[in-house]
Structure 1
């Protein structure tokens, strides 16, 4: 008999890898641990009969001749497989995406650094030309999406994206996938949250309240981002960081969550080799003690400074025209400056916006000498107050599909925030000062 099994606290990557094992090894029996993540349990409640999964208690280990282990390389993470541990006549193959010392002595293995183990197995299935059912493809894609955060986590590799594309070609159902990938808050995460709260601390950095919490964990724990976000809300800080130390693997997983644009998680954690976006980020650091990681993190927070308001990000001084300026003059300015539009200002007050698209309103050749006030947009001009955040500006740009927004203070226009300015902010490319309308 040949069996396939995985780690306790089975997540979607683990389940998908077990099922993929039955595709690669058709004579193998899938065996799942007793402890399964809640969202995976919900999936199995509907699909279990399709996979003919067994529990360890249903297996006669005396008949087992080969063992396939997926998504872990540690005996301690397997459930009730002890009878096989000291067998010298057993063929063992390991599939895992966590490179490092393999605790399980194998006769063969496929261990490479990817975002998910199912990525490796999907690649092999594709190479062998094996067919997948839509249910299998959906499950496999769920494994990739969960472990890579929808391909957004820094651990994501090109292989994960290729595998995801292939699974979509195999009719993976994104609607079904999304219905089961809703984050679940289980007992393990609850215990971790309680432990973090026991040692909660608050420190002041750059006028903001931050909490950095170190906690040792054993093996992979899913959905730690949920825990960190809940922790931040409970301790009521602007930003919270969880430094989760896996002693056996000598790695620290850093997860950050923020409620302010001033503390850009993506920027801060890129400084530690990770990444993310303004509100959330993560990094994986090897061979450093958690105390050292904490010191590095605090130093990175201190030196990282993102614009706290549009006044620091906006383009200024502005190039504007008066309402009496001719369309011919406006066309010349747009061409020379490379702008797509200009604010129209009279007596320091914004009275309209003139853009390249407004030139379509000219029907006769002599209208090029007409004043801009005859063609400018003056109704429902979208503006933003100088004290607002870059995220609020981005929301307006997306909502109204506009390239620039005048920044207003005391009823006067003091700058322009453009798509380019916002993109620079979100991708951590903000220059010290900007002097053109962009």
Structure 2
């Protein structure tokens, strides 16, 4: 006997996946392992449903020879069907969009894709295999995709989900029906629960991630409370939200994350739950609400690491000056390297800071021969390479400090300027604006550092002009050109190295010919190897 089933408290993605799976397993029985969400129960009570469902209690589980699991692979979420998972000879087929976990059920056939809904996987299969579906079946599948992707607005939504929804619309999906079942009107009990959750909520800041934990208790079981997390998220802008509701001697935990740094499925996996990085749930037994909250906070502090630290954004190496140098020497050093602050070193150990403002005032009053140690400031804040950027931001703003030394074991490891901090904040915004393309998560490219001043000071004028012309030649061809190798290392150290290697992404011969015309020299090309030599 073949059985198609899904997870406890089945949602529309589960229902739609079961209906679609029936197309591939026509002799299989459709069986829910337990209850369904209220909206699904309402839909099943309507005349829309085109298939018949069997009750689990009417089956002899030992007669099941093939189990088709859709939208689930966690044994805890299969109810009584978990009793036969180890039955000898049982064939298991799995179709799911949740990430794999160590304790997951494994099958002889597994179709696991990183998409917003399991229904999307089946929709693609039906389209590829040219299996026809009726308008009502298309509507059910659309309900599955819309509910799971919320509708097509959750961060987990992919291009594949949108394409699948478009296909279902072509096949006659009725958006009026979809809208009717997607619009959830709150009952009196749900309004009371939402009100209690909002008023009990606490806000935490862990490594610059805004986390809200809301708690409530109910004597009787309430199903389908996950959507309340989205209601609260709409009201209050937070990165991560946990709903903890105590019902019938257990705590139902619902988590939603809008931060790439927090994988809520990893957090709730510790408590026997699972799901997606952006959406997860768990049923927690033998633990009070307060214990659950404290334990979740402990796990969060262990799992969440600073997105960026001083080491990630600091400028290094930093131009410094020794303690017994004169103010005149400090002025010349600042002018040469186009900096406004110099860390002062005493016996190679960080001692303080000397600023251009102090230097210019000292020169104006005739103190050019005074040693920098006598005028430098020693009360400026410093940070370590491991200091989170959020902490650095607070220090620089609250203390109005424009230059933040990064010190490790007494030695200057780097420095952070306001420009470095602004660049980091901007890149943080870019990282939150992620683009999901097929199965690959990509980011917008980050911005780099402008080293034009360093190039100009490190190389003779003719070399600097040559590099500018090389850049112009690459730009004309829409290529990217890079300086690579040891010269880059020496440039960052502020040292000159005329052994310069340039790498071009594109046609090397075309680049050489374009550059040759710009500097009026002959070019000898080797088409066989795709290389060229510029002959001066």
Cα pair 1:183 1:223 within 8 Å, conserved? no
Unaligned runs of 5+ in 1: 205-209, 216-220, 257-268, 275-281, 300-426, 429-438
Distance 2:73 2:184 in 1: 25
Residues 6-45 of structure 1: pairs in structure 2 closer than 5 A: 6-45=6-45
What is the deviation of 1:229? 3.1
What is the deviation of 1:197? 6.0
Q: Which has the higher contact order (CA 8 A, sep 6+)?
A: 1
Cα pair 1:8 1:36 within 8 Å, conserved? yes
What is the deviation of 1:152? 1.2
Residues 106 and 45 of structure 1: CA distance in aligned 2, closer, same or farther (over 3 Å) = same
Residues 368-379 of structure 1: pairs in structure 2 closer than 5 A: none
Distance 2:182 2:158 in 1: 20
TM (norm. structure 1) is: 0.51
Cα pair 2:71 2:97 within 8 Å, conserved? yes
- Alignment correspondent of 1:149: 150
What is the deviation of 1:178? 0.7
Residues 188 and 283 of structure 1: CA distance in aligned 2, closer, same or farther (over 3 Å) = farther
**Which secondary structure does the structure 1 equivalent of 2:95 belong to?**
strand
Cα pair 1:39 1:184 within 8 Å, conserved? no
Residues 31-430 of structure 1: pairs in structure 2 closer than 5 A: 31-47=31-47, 50-101=50-101, 103-183=104-184, 200-201=201-202, 212-213=212-213, 224-227=226-229, 229-230=231-232, 239-240=237-238, 242-244=240-242, 253-255=255-257, 269=259, 284=278, 289-291=299-301
TM (norm. structure 2) is: 0.42
Cα pair 1:137 1:171 within 8 Å, conserved? yes
Residues 30 and 198 of structure 1: CA distance in aligned 2, closer, same or farther (over 3 Å) = same
What is the deviation of 1:174? 0.4
Distance 1:99 1:187 in 2: 36
Distance 1:155 1:231 in 2: 16
Aligned length: 266
Residues 134 and 80 of structure 1: CA distance in aligned 2, closer, same or farther (over 3 Å) = same
**Which secondary structure does the structure 2 equivalent of 1:226 belong to?**
helix
Instruction: Point out the structure with max Rg over C-alpha.
Output: 2
Unaligned runs of 5+ in 2: 216-222, 245-252, 265-275, 281-297, 310-432, 435-536
Cα pair 1:140 1:167 within 8 Å, conserved? yes
- Alignment correspondent of 1:383: none
Distance 1:49 1:272 in 2: 38
Distance 1:152 1:68 in 2: 29
Cα pair 1:228 1:255 within 8 Å, conserved? no
Cα pair 1:189 1:224 within 8 Å, conserved? no
What is the deviation of 1:190? 8.6
Cα pair 2:73 2:96 within 8 Å, conserved? yes
Residues 285 and 71 of structure 1: CA distance in aligned 2, closer, same or farther (over 3 Å) = closer
**Which secondary structure does the structure 2 equivalent of 1:88 belong to?**
coil
**More displaced 10-residue stretch of structure 1: 122-131 or 40-49:** 40-49
What is the deviation of 1:193? 5.7
Distance 2:57 2:260 in 1: 46
Cα pair 1:228 1:240 within 8 Å, conserved? no
Distance 2:234 2:155 in 1: 22
Cα pair 1:21 1:28 within 8 Å, conserved? no
Distance 1:290 1:7 in 2: 27
Cα pair 2:241 2:255 within 8 Å, conserved? yes
- Alignment correspondent of 1:431: none
